[in-house]
């Protein structure tokens, strides 16, 4: 059997790992990129489903790293069927006027520029194949914005703009581009929220619960598959109906 292959950036974090496992459960070989997190634990989990897993270190904001990672994954598996651009960082909650240049640049470089670089590399590859799916991870903050997380909100709004524009550019080649905008998801990135803050968000959520990484993984997987073959340029919000 010829297995499909998914490339997931930031594949060792909460959402990245859950997404990798979702694809592995469904028979995909999985390529992970990581920057500083040790990928061994995630690799072992993925291989337990009887599929192959390959990890490559990559700084998503570095053009040469992105090109090298794609080349290594294609060399290893022979093909990529889907690219999930998940790698991203949060910012400390301060007003924009209190942010220094380096803090601003770091968030934009990773969350927006890095996602653009990965989309560019995926586009080159998929256009030649005349097929493929790109799924970008945005955020509910990219949809609604959030005070004291202005740069993060802007970077994630940019990901949605990228998704919509690129879908128009490469749809004619049979390539789909979509995004997922998670709400409050219980991962390492949200560990800094106090219990009181989490409870406030839970109460402001229509489903009266906080999200799990698997909730996001399920949406990503759907968009990657043929079940979503007539969906492109969309941003699916996975927030449980967050009202704020």
pLDDT tens for each residue of 4-25: 999 999 999 899 999 999 999 9
The predicted structure's pLDDT at residue 1? 59
The predicted structure's pLDDT at residue 244? 66
pLDDT in tens, 182-225: 998 887 767 777 788 788 888 888 899 988 999 999 999 999 99
72 Rama sector, left if φ>0, alpha if ψ -120 to 50, beta otherwise: alpha
Catalytic-role residue among 28, 34, 125, 152: 152
- Contact 178/231 with Cβ under 8 angstroms? yes
Q: Which fold has domain 5-238?
A: Rossmann fold (3.40.50)
The predicted structure's pLDDT at residue 63? 98
pLDDT in tens, 30-89: 999 999 889 999 999 999 999 999 999 999 999 999 999 999 999 999 999 999 999 999
Closest of 238, 181, 244, 180 to residue 210, by C-alpha: 238
The reply to whether 152 belongs to the active site is yes
Q: What is the pTM of this model?
A: 0.94
Q: What is the mean pLDDT of residues 136-159?
A: 95
3-state secondary structure of 176: strand
pLDDT in tens, 159-172: 999 999 999 999 99
- Contact 110/60 with Cβ under 8 angstroms? yes
């Amino acid at each position: 059997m010829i297995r499909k292959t998914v490339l997931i950036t930031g594949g060792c974090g909460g959402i990245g790992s859950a997404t990798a496992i979702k694809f592995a459960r469904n028979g995909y070989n999985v390529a992970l990129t990581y920057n500083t997190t040790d990928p061994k634990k995630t690799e072992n989990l993925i291989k337990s489903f009887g599929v192959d897993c390959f990890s490559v270190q990559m700084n998503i904001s570095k053009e040469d790293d992105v090109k090298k990672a794609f080349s290594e994954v294609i060399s290893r598996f022979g093909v990529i069927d889907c690219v999930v651009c998940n790698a991203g960082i949060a910012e400390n909650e301060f007003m924009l006027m209190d942010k220094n240049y380096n803090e601003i640049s770091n968030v934009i470089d990773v969350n927006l520029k890095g996602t653009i670089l990965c989309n560019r590399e995926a586009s080159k590859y998929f256009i030649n194949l005349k097929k493929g799916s790109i799924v970008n991870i945005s955020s509910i903050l990219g949809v609604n914005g959030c005070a004291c997380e202005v740069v993060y909100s802007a970077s994630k709004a940019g990901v949605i703009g990228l998704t919509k524009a690129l879908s128009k550019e490469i749809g004619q080649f049979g390539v789909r581009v979509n995004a997922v905008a998670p709400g409050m998801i219980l991962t390492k990135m949200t560990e800094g929220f106090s219990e009181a803050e989490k409870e406030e968000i839970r109460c402001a959520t229509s489903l009266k619960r906080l999200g799990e990484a698997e909730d996001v993984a399920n949406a990503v997987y759907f968009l990657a598959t043929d079940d979503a073959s007539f969906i492109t340029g969309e941003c699916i919000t996975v927030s449980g109906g967050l009202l704020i």
